[in-house]
Amino acid sequence: MNLLSYTLRYLYATLLVVISIWAILFYFKMISEIRDSLDDGLENDKMLVIHKVAHDKATITRAGFSEHNYSISPLRQQYAQQVKDNFKDTMMYTLNERDLEPFRVLTTAFRNNGSYYQLKVVASTLEQDDLVRSLLFSLLGLYIAILISILIINRALLRKIWIPFHQLLSRLKNFKLDQDVRIEISKTNIREFEELNLTVSGLVDQSVKVYGSQKQFIENAAHELQTPLAISLNRLELLAEDDNLSQSNLESVGKVITTLQRLARLNRTLLLISKIENKQFGSAGSLSINELMKIMINEYREFAASKNVTLVFENKEVLLVVMNRDLASVLMSNLLKNAINHNIPGGTVKILITDKNISFVNTGKKVPLDPQIIFERFNKGSSSKNSTGLGLAIVKSISTFYHLDVLYFYNEQHHFKVVFRT
């Protein structure tokens, strides 16, 4: 649901509540005004009747609701002195409607020539049912008219106002950090959108600058760190060939060589992860995972044999993907190497390929791994000194780069599955 629809939904609900409350208040206010107006008219009619009786005594004998809107009847003095003007609603039969209709009645008392009389004056009023029905239909029409007006304004005006925002959003979706293309900002007279444009433009420029610095750092690290490590390893290897070294010194040199080799592997691996995350690899192409895995299995067969692990390849279906070949090789190599390294003597690694995914199933410790942390950096599933704890982290980085799903589950054996969205 977009922002406009979300806002309008609450606007419609608010309008319905406000109009309903206003209708109730308006109804009672209108009834009160109508009664006040009728009461004023009845008081005026009362004064006219009393004035008429004072000048024409025969009026009393001619009075009656059948011919007039007033009725006069004799009243005892003791009751007459207690009567005050009293207004009330009542129902009376009318000939034209042939039914009971609502009326407003004023009951009072007056004195004429020493005698007391009760006077009732009536006036026709509105039927409240009809009034409620008319008011309901009128308000319903008003509500629909307001909704239609809002929809028209939304399409004609609000959509036009939001054009700069949607343009910015579209450019952000198409923006790629590695292409070093700045985002064009549309001019707008709306202050909030202008501030948004300036803020986004500043963030993009800063991101491009940081990305450039990081890319330069990676390139420098690749040259500046690997070279001294290679030189140090070469010198130590030459030193190890010296016949004058004692056995203890030779063992110390061997430990240093092992440490530097691990440091070199760690450096190369971290540089690889950084390059993957910063999209510093070449373009992708069509690639057969089946053919790639055949090559990988041949390369790792001796390594698996040294670990007393059997490789089983089930090449059921053809899996074609669009990937950079080097990254695909790194992805498959790390999964295969992980399955061999964390296996048991006499165990097996089964590679199963379908047209949608590739699975690596290996025998290992009868303990399931934690799927929440196994793909994190420097998380080791074993205590091997040669493990950097970055193999599965590389797998996760490549999968994220290509929007692949990497799944792990344990069912008597460890299962790693890569699902390709082809």
In a domain, 87, yes or no: yes
Do 354 and 325 share a structural domain? yes
Task: Give the dihedral of Cα atoms 227, 233, 236, 242; nearest 10 deg.
Answer: -110
Q: How confident is the model at residue 383 (pLDDT cuts 50, 70, 90)?
A: very low
Looking at residue 365, which CATH number applies to its domain?
3.30.565.10
Q: 20-36 pLDDT, tens per residue?
A: 887 788 777 877 777 78
- Does residue 185 belong to any structural domain of this protein? no
pLDDT at 197: 83
Question: What percent of the chain stands above pLDDT 70?
Answer: 83
Provide the domain limits for residue 328.
Answer: 285-419
Claim to verify: residue 373 and residue 340 sit in the same structural domain: yes
Last residue of a domain, one of 133, 155, 189: 133
Residue pointed to by tokens 């009809």: 130
pLDDT of residue 350: 92
Same domain assignment for residues 266 and 347: no
Instruction: Judge whether residue 162 has pLDDT over 80.
Output: no
* Confidence check: pLDDT of 242 > 60: yes
User: What was the pLDDT predicted at 38?
Assistant: 82
Q: Does residue 144 lie in a domain region?
A: no
Beta-carbon contacts of residue 355 (< 8 Å; ≥ 6 apart): 317, 318, 319, 422
Residues 269, 290 within the same domain = no
The whole-number pLDDT of residue 4 equals 66
Say how many domains are in the chain.
3
For 85-124, the pLDDT digits (tens) are 888 888 777 766 677 777 888 888 888 777 888 888 888 7
Kindly state whether residues 296 and 260 are assigned to the same domain. no
Same domain, 397 and 368: yes
Q: Which of 323, 333, 283 is nearest to 303 (CA)?
A: 333
Identify whether residues 118 and 234 lie together within a single domain: no
51 and 9 in a single domain? The answer is yes
Write down the pLDDT at residue 275: 67
Residues 255 and 301 reside in one and the same domain: no
Report the length, in residues, of the chain: 422
Q: What is the pLDDT, as a whole number, of residue 276?
A: 67
> What does the DSSP assignment read for 372-403?
TTTTSTT--SS--TT--S-HHHHHHHHHHHTT
Last residue of a domain, one of 74, 98, 133: 133
Average pLDDT value for residue range 1-9: 70
Core vs surface per residue 178-190: b (16+ CB within 10 A) or e? eeeeebebeebee
- 151 is a domain residue: no
Q: Is 80 exceeded by the pLDDT of residue 338?
A: yes
* Lowest-confidence pick of 205-219, 223-237, 257-271: 257-271
Query: What SS3 class is residue 151?
Result: helix
Round the average pLDDT of the chain to a whole number and report it. Answer: 78
Residues 413 and 305 in one domain: yes
Higher pLDDT, 40 or 362: 362
**Cα distance between residue 114 and residue 109, in whole Å:** 13
Q: Residue 153 falls within a domain, yes or no?
A: no
Cα separation, 207 vs 202, whole angstroms: 9
Give pLDDT tens digits for 280-319: 666 678 888 899 899 888 888 888 999 899 999 988 788 8
Take residue 227 and report the two structure tokens written for it: 């070279």
Q: Which helix (H) or strand (E) holds 415?
A: strand 414-419
Helix axes of 325-341 and 391-401: crossing angle, nearest 10 degrees: 150
Q: Kindly state whether residue 189 falls inside one of the protein's structural domains.
A: no
Are 302 and 261 in the same domain? no
Exposed e or buried b for every residue in 309-322, given b needs 16+ CB within 10 A? bebeeeeeeebebe
pLDDT of 199 reads 86
Do 262 and 324 lie in a common domain?
no
Q: What is the pLDDT of residue 216?
A: 73
> Residue 45: helix, strand or coil by DSSP?
helix
Instruction: Output 66 or 362, whichever has higher pLDDT.
Output: 362
Residue 396 belongs to a domain: yes
Residue 200 lies in a domain: no
pLDDT class of 348 with cuts at 50, 70, 90: very high
Residue-wise pLDDT tens digits, 254-283: 878 777 777 776 666 667 666 666 666 666
Q: Is 147 in contact with 9 (CB distance < 8 Å)?
A: no
